[in-house]
Amino acid sequence: MKKVYIRTFGCQMNEKDSEIVLSLLQPDFVPTEEPESADLILINTCSVREKPQHKLYSEIGRFKELKKKKPELLIGVMGCVAQQEGERIVERYPYVDIVLGTQAFYQIRQAIERRLKEGKPFVWTELKPDFKPPLVLGSKKLRRVKAFVNIMQGCDNFCTYCIVPYVRGREVSRPPEDILREVEYLVKEEGVKEVALLGQNVNSYGLKEKSYGDFADLLERVSQIDGLLRIRFTTSHPKDLTERLMRVIAENPKVCKHIHLPLQAGSNKILKLMNRKYTREEYLAKVERLRELCPEIAITSDIIVGFPGETEKDFLQTLEMLERVRFHEVFSFKYSDRPFAAATNFQGKVPEEVKEERLKRVHEAQAKITAEVYHSYVGKEVEVLVEGRSERDENQLTGRTTTNVIVNFTAPRLDLEGELVKVLIESAGKHSLKGKYLSPSF
């Protein structure tokens, strides 16, 4: 049996795509953690958050030596950078065998065949507007507590800083029947208790395909699957967060009380330049309504600092929003140009040192808020889905609250993986909580 090594950068969607590729390659290839022993090396790249070329190219360089020693080794590049760079990758790195775009990776088997038959690098980066991602089920061998499920592909929003619509194509929702079959499969065959439904903007699920129902309908349908304990979802665009969806989040016991709701910036001028289609006031109104319906909900967010045209005054409005909303956690990024994205041609680029300094201020302000929010859990009883042993301490268990906060805790038994338990929180750290087991949750 041959071996495949896969290195994944970027978001959860990329992680899921890597998993799909591994399923597609079975049973001919088994995964390995060591590139040295692999017959096929795949690099799944990201161009959304990181400077793409740097990461990819240093990674490819590492594998050149391996290929010299073992000429039959196949090297493939997939993901957003593959989509974006296509032929340029093999022009620059002739020892790369396969380049597969964000839709083409489903054809990994055919790509390997063609590479071997044609004896030259094979590049496939077609993006079809009516692409239908096939249903791919795994090998039944995995046992796991959590799994990702794609519910849609691509994005139609064209935020001006973002490369996603160009490298992942138009937004297409998967049929609910496929999604339900996949979740049922995961629950029955792999023992999964929690699924995270993935899309660039899950709130617009099904809006283009009327017979599918909307995202709130999908959550209700998925929640009816027996044996599934929790449903998470990401990412939500604030403009498409409806009253009905907020009610489902608040009222459906399987839907986790956490929403990742990227704000990006606190100034209306910058939000407009970003083409986000909401104002700070509208964002705040949605947060207020969400909390009215579901007081325990945790909200997390993404922030970009130093978008072109962002003044100190604009930036202070972002800091002010952090204070007002009090997110559980914030992922913050320095704005940087991306190929194709409209803002790349905007005036008023912010100097690197200013971006650096603003990023630091966001980190500091949010670290204080996160610490306070985490501290507010101390003394409370929370429900935790046990994921396994804690990495730091083999004698403790680890899991997450419905609000997506990591909890490490002591327990009289350590064989509780996959169960919902009640935990008393005794202390709060920077990135997790500590506590002790009280009882089973039901």
- Give the interface with ligand 5AD as residue ranges (CB under 6 A): 48-49, 161-162, 262, 264, 302, 304, 333, 335-336, 338
Q: Is 157 in the site for ligand SF4 (CB under 6 A)?
A: yes
Q: Is 164 in the site for ligand SF4 (CB under 6 A)?
A: yes
- What is the closest distance, in whole angstroms, from the C-beta atom of residue 84 to ligand 5AD in the complex? 13
Distance in angstroms (rounded) separating the CA atoms of residues 130 and 159? 21
Q: Is 155 in the site for ligand SF4 (CB under 6 A)?
A: yes
Question: What is the pattern of x (binds ligand SF4, CB under 6 A) and - over residues 212-251?
Answer: -------------------------x--------------
Q: 425 by DSSP, 3-state: which?
A: strand
Give the largest CA-CA distance in the chain. Answer: 65
Q: Which is nearer to ligand SF4, 5 or 9 (CB)?
A: 9
Q: Is 261 in the site for ligand SF4 (CB under 6 A)?
A: no
Distance in angstroms (rounded) separating the CA atoms of residues 332 and 265? 10
- With CB under 5 to 8 Å by kind, the binding choice for 304 among ligand 5AD, ligand SF4, none is ligand 5AD
Backbone torsions φ then ψ of 349, nearest 5 degrees: -60, 140
Residue with the two structure tokens 């302000």: 365
Residue with the two structure tokens 């973002």: 162
DSSP 151-195: -EE------TT--HHHHS-S-EEPPHHHHHHHHHHHHHHH---EE
DSSP state of 265: -
Q: Is 159 in the site for ligand SF4 (CB under 6 A)?
A: yes
Is 223 within 8 Å of 254 (Cβ atoms)? Answer: yes
- What is the closest distance, in whole angstroms, from the C-beta atom of residue 279 to ligand 5AD in the complex? 18
Q: Is 162 in the site for ligand SF4 (CB under 6 A)?
A: yes
- With CB under 5 to 8 Å by kind, the binding choice for 300 among ligand 5AD, ligand SF4, none is none
- With CB under 5 to 8 Å by kind, the binding choice for 333 among ligand SF4, ligand 5AD, none is ligand 5AD
Distance in angstroms (rounded) separating the CA atoms of residues 106 and 108? 6
Backbone torsions φ then ψ of 103, nearest 5 degrees: -105, -30
- What is the closest distance, in whole angstroms, from the C-beta atom of residue 172 to ligand SF4 in the complex? 13
Binding site for ligand SF4 (CB under 6 A): 155, 157-159, 162, 164-165, 200-201, 237
